[in-house]
Amino acid sequence: MTPPARRFLPSPWTFLAHAAARTKRIRLATAITFLPLENPVRLAEDVSVVDILSGGRVEIGVGSGGSEAEYAAFGRDITRKRELTTEGLRILRSALAHIAGDVHRAALRFGERGAFPANLDIGEALRRFHAFYGHPDEIVAGLRQERVLPVATDLITQFDPAAADSDAAIRALELIATEIAPALGRRPVPQPEPQGV
């Protein structure tokens, strides 16, 4: 009997973004991401987005893989797999450290100018910037603590389209419209019926 062919999830971080939205406590991870077959900067961006959406529940395992067919499909030289893995891991670590620190560094600069207290941690930095992340229930709880919310006539939400891939961005908008806004008492504005010609 011929053994079944190995099959892998082709887009695990898109799947994990979806899982992040439907769970509260489980850790989210890939067993092994074949680093030589990935763009390490793009991977760092995807991992960071899922980590933010999940409230810090992401773990990532990386390895070199071993299938000649997979390497050939991505135009990679399997004889260089150790070298490619080492270099990819160096870039991935650097990119993850850069992305995670951007908000924190901005908050520290505000602190130096006296706009924020000095030496904020990353959680307090996000709060000061009114940036909410995590499960929709956590975001709703955070927004309910905003003192201006009871008197606000409009709730405008946004995200940086350069910081998330299109699947994560669409899912974020869906969650805002279907779970977060209704939980805060927001209702869609009725749209006029289209007029026939």
23 lies in some domain: yes
- In order, the DSSP letters of 140-191 are HHHHHT-TTGGG-S-------TTSS-HHHHHHHHHHIIIIIHHHTT--PPPP
For residue 62, is it within any domain? yes
Angle (CA) 167 164 12, round 5°: 55
- Say what the pLDDT of residue 1 is: 56
In which band, very low, low, confident or very high, does the pLDDT at 103 lie, cut at 50, 70 and 90? low
First-to-last C-alpha distance (Å) of the chain: 65
> Rounded to whole angstroms, how far apart are CA atoms 17 and 135?
11
Closest CA relative to residue 155, chosen from 174, 177, 125: 177
Q: Has residue 192 been placed in a domain?
A: no
pLDDT > 80? residue 44? yes
pLDDT in tens, 107-125: 777 777 777 777 777 667 7
Q: Which residues pair with 60 in a beta bridge?
A: 30
Other beta carbons within 10 angstroms of residue 58's beta carbon come to 21
Find the domain containing 117 and state its range.
Answer: 12-183
Does residue 167 fall inside a structural domain?
A: yes
18 in a structural domain: yes
pTM above 0.75, yes or no: no
Q: How many domains does the chain have?
A: 1
Assess if residue 138 is contained within a domain.
yes
Within a domain: 19? yes
Q: Which phi and psi (to 5°) does residue 32 adopt?
A: -145, 130
125-147 per-position pLDDT tens digit: 766 666 776 678 878 888 888 88
Residue 6: inside a domain: no
